[in-house]
Structure 1
Amino acid sequence: MIITFSRPTDTVNTMDIFWPIASYLIGAVPFGFLVGRLAGIDVRAGGSGNIGATNVNRLLGKKFGVMTLILDCLKGFFPIFLAARLYAASPLETWLVPACGVLAVVGHMFPVYLGFRGGKGVATALGVFLFLSPAAVGISLLVFVATVGFTGFVSAGSLLTAALMPLWLLAVKMPMVTVLAALVIAVLIWFKHRDNIGRLRRGEEKSWKKR
């Protein structure tokens, strides 16, 4: 049996709705939780209780932390890579590919598989923007490293990087719909970091320099 894919038309149809939904479901795969289970623990019950790479690294060490980071990054990259290949040269590509990226991040943050309680979306967003604009990611990584190195707070680096990503996308002349997608993702990341923001303001946030 041979399965073939027809090129999408210029008008929206049922299959076009499938890709953003599939992106959400892929983004919702809780790799941090699964990696923790592989190691014999529930990462939600220790550390910050988050399923992201930072908490996995805190509880299980660098090997599992890096594994989670890569997997979370890939689930942001993979859905929009497929969408871009399928919708290449279609007018729908301009908005559908960024939409798939946003939905992948939403899936990580609010995964249906874990009762909509997920991670903070930074690694998945990294995968999204690695595809959309490697140049903007390169600038953002410099900002992230500098911020974490200066302040000692990973959360501060994540927040500043998310906030500035739309500016870098404008600087490298990405389409406005991609910039808007970055704004939506930035707002979501700040929302998911609201507890970190509170601890930063109170001087209670954990610093990697003190570990």
Structure 2
Amino acid sequence: MGQEYALTCEAIDIVLSDSPQKTKRLLLGDVLRRILKADVFASFVCDASGPYADPVQLDLGDDALRAYHRHFRHVDDLTPRLFARGCATRVTPAAGFSAEFVHDFLHRGGMYHGMNYFPAGAGPGSVDLRVWRGRGGRAFTEADAQVLQSFGNLVARTWPRETPSGQKPLSRRETQVAELVAEGYSDKQIAAALGIAPPTLRTHLSNAFAKTGATNRAALAAHHLRHRQK
């Protein structure tokens, strides 16, 4: 009990410290691994496309992070489900999830039993916490989930949301354009509705694509509906 109390105090001190956020995520992850007897820790910042920016890791490896960014995030059907729950969720991926993601990324990285925290109302700038145990470990318990939920909520309440690296928020006009795209307006209809010339509209669309990572109008519409920027 004495060690658990000391680790809890250490974690709270880290969350409330004035250190840079990325440093705090790594330090907090180290303490959480000890509290929860986890093997791997990772944390991402949510950007315009979801919880995929500015990763930090302990015992996962930078090569694995690069592989995730290049390929596995596109076949990862687990993270979006956990993200949508907006809480600490225990998971032991098996049937029902992408076999490629589970076997070629999670299991290859020694991740068999996981617990991911995403804050309620997560959006650009919000931080998640992810811990995993290896093949020889046991699944996390509900008590473990309550611990991760408590620290995640403390982070969500005390850390200001930051713009992820390389991401900029949409301007007011770009947001209006994205909203009308999501409502199915054509370029001609959007230009008329906003009282702007077609070349100006194309500039706003190009900027919105660049900021959100969208590659087409459908992706921009999906971004707007997901985040409802105002």
Fold conserved (TM > 0.5)? no
Provide the TM-score with structure 2 as the length reference.
0.29
Provide the TM-score with structure 1 as the length reference.
0.31
Bigger helix fraction = 1
Greater radius of gyration (CA): 2
Bigger strand fraction = 2
